Amino acid sequence: MMPSIKELSREPELFSSGHRACTGCGEVLAVRQVLLAAIKPVACVMPTGCLEIVSTIYPHTAWQVPMFHSAFENAAATISGMEAAYRVLKRKGKITEDINFIAFGGDGGTYDIGFQALSGAVERRHRFLYVCLDNEAYMNTGIQRSSATPLGAHTTTSPAGKVKPGKLEWRKDIVEIMIAHDIPYAAQATVWNWNDLANKVRKALSINGPSFINVLVPCPLGWGYHSSQTITLSKLAVETCFWPLYECENHKYRLNYVPKEKLPVTEWLKLQDRFRHLFRPENKSLLDAFQEEVDRRWEQLNKKVKCFD
């Protein structure tokens, strides 16, 4: 289990340099970390989105593992078919090695358009790890709101204007929804805490059934910050308890990291252009609502950890 940094440093890079992601892109950091930690061999799927566009412009590819992209809403359905093929071909002796399956989906391809396929695949108990690369908007098509976009965020389809202060709804809690599917393993992670993410990937892949990891992947372009700040923003999301690092394994919740001092969420918000308008006096109530919701969820999660222990 628990891979050390020394061990990971010896692993081959399976997502090679030369891809076309923006500098500081959290998505490709997450993919590299997941593939370093993965129990090999793996075969992967991704839906349409930034990751696909930056890594597979024909005739180039950044993938050193089998990678399949077919459409936007079907990563989980596609991997269901691959995993079914694997099971039958193994039974027939046409494949001998043990292969792990990983789907990488953006929040749009996971929370929204791909949600039905994901729900179906998890209910059918296919053996695969679904990694949601959550940058909280549809970045590939130019930063539109998704159901992962937080309250108040400015996006190109929930713009902060004269009468509307950005997105009016709180984000969908996808990890809880996956847990409600009775999934054997679901977790939340970030690219800041590589150790935690690596552990979670190892755990997820050792499970006989579906597993889900939601990784917060800051996007300099969509969030509006300097590309050197990706790790800082990942860390602040955790330290403010906006993005708790936790897991739920066979109905047992566990917090993987408890901040020494819970920072106000404004520490995370204030570094991002998409929340800039929230700091105007007229939007104070929205800022307060944001903090309240973070507190409420943090408290609830702590209760779950205690009562399901």
Partner 1 sequence: MIVAKTGNEAMAYAMKQCRPDVVAAYPITPSTEIVQIFSSFVADGLVDTEYVPVESEHSAMSACIGAAASGARAMTATASQGLALMHEMLFIAAGLRLPIVMCVASRSLSSPLNIHCDHSDSVASRDSGWIQIFCESSQEGYDSVIQAVKIAERAYLPVIVAIDGFILSHCMERLEILSDEEVSDFLGEFKPNYSLLDTKNPITVGPACLPDSYFEHKRAEAEGIRQAKGIIEEVIEEYRKRFHRYYPVIDEYQAEDAEVVVLAMGSTVGTAKIAVDELRAQGKKVGALKLRFFRPLFSEKLVASLRKFKVVGILDRAEAMNSYISPLATEIRAALYHQTEKPLIVSYVYGLGGREITQEDIKVVFEELIHIKETQKVKDEVSYIGVR
Ligand X SMILES: Cc1ncc(C[n+]2csc(CCOP(=O)(O)OP(=O)(O)O)c2C)c(N)n1
Binding positions for partner 1, rule: CB under 8 A: 40-43, 45, 52-53, 56-59, 61, 63-71, 73-74, 76-82, 84-89, 91-92, 94-95, 97, 99, 116-117, 119-121, 123-124
Neighbours of 56 (CB within 10 A): 17
239 binding ligand SF4? (CB under 6 A): no
Does 220 participate in binding ligand X (rule CB under 6 A)? no
Per CB under 6 A, 43 contacts ligand SF4 = no
Least distance to ligand X, CB of residue 108, Å: 3
Site of tokens 């919740």: 253
Under rule CB under 6 A, how many of the chain's residues touch ligand X?
18
54 binds ligand SF4 (CB under 6 A): yes
Least separation in angstroms between CB 248 and ligand X: 23
50 makes contact with ligand X (CB under 6 A):
yes
Stretch that binds ligand SF4, among 69-77, 80-88, 217-225, 270-278 (CB under 6 A): 217-225
Radius of gyration, alpha carbons of the chain: 19
The site partner of 146 among partner 1, ligand SF4, ligand X, none (C-beta below 5 to 8 Å per kind) is ligand X
Contacts 24+ apart (CB under 8 A), 140-149: 140/48, 140/49, 140/50, 140/52, 140/53, 140/106, 143/221, 143/222, 146/107, 146/108, 146/111, 146/112, 147/107, 147/111, 147/112, 147/171, 147/172, 148/107, 148/108, 148/110, 148/111, 148/172, 148/174
Interface residue with ligand X among 14, 29, 44, 51 (CB under 6 A) is 51
The residue among 308, 171, 174 whose CA lies nearest residue 248 is: 308
- Partner in contact with 120, chosen from ligand SF4, partner 1, ligand X, none, beta carbon below 5 to 8 Å by kind: partner 1
Whether 110 contacts 130, CB under 8 Å: yes
User: DSSP label at 134?
Assistant: E
Site for ligand SF4 (CB under 6 A): which residue of 8, 22, 71, 305? 22
Rounded Cα gap, residues 180 and 182, in angstroms: 5
Asked if 148 is part of the footprint of ligand SF4 (rule: CB under 6 A), the reply reads: no
**3-class secondary-structure state, position 15:** strand
Out of 36, 44, 118, 139, the only residue in the binding site for ligand X (CB under 6 A) is: 139
Q: Does 191 bind ligand X (CB under 6 A)?
A: no
Q: Interface residues with ligand SF4 (CB under 6 A)?
A: 21-22, 25, 27, 50, 54, 135, 139, 219-222
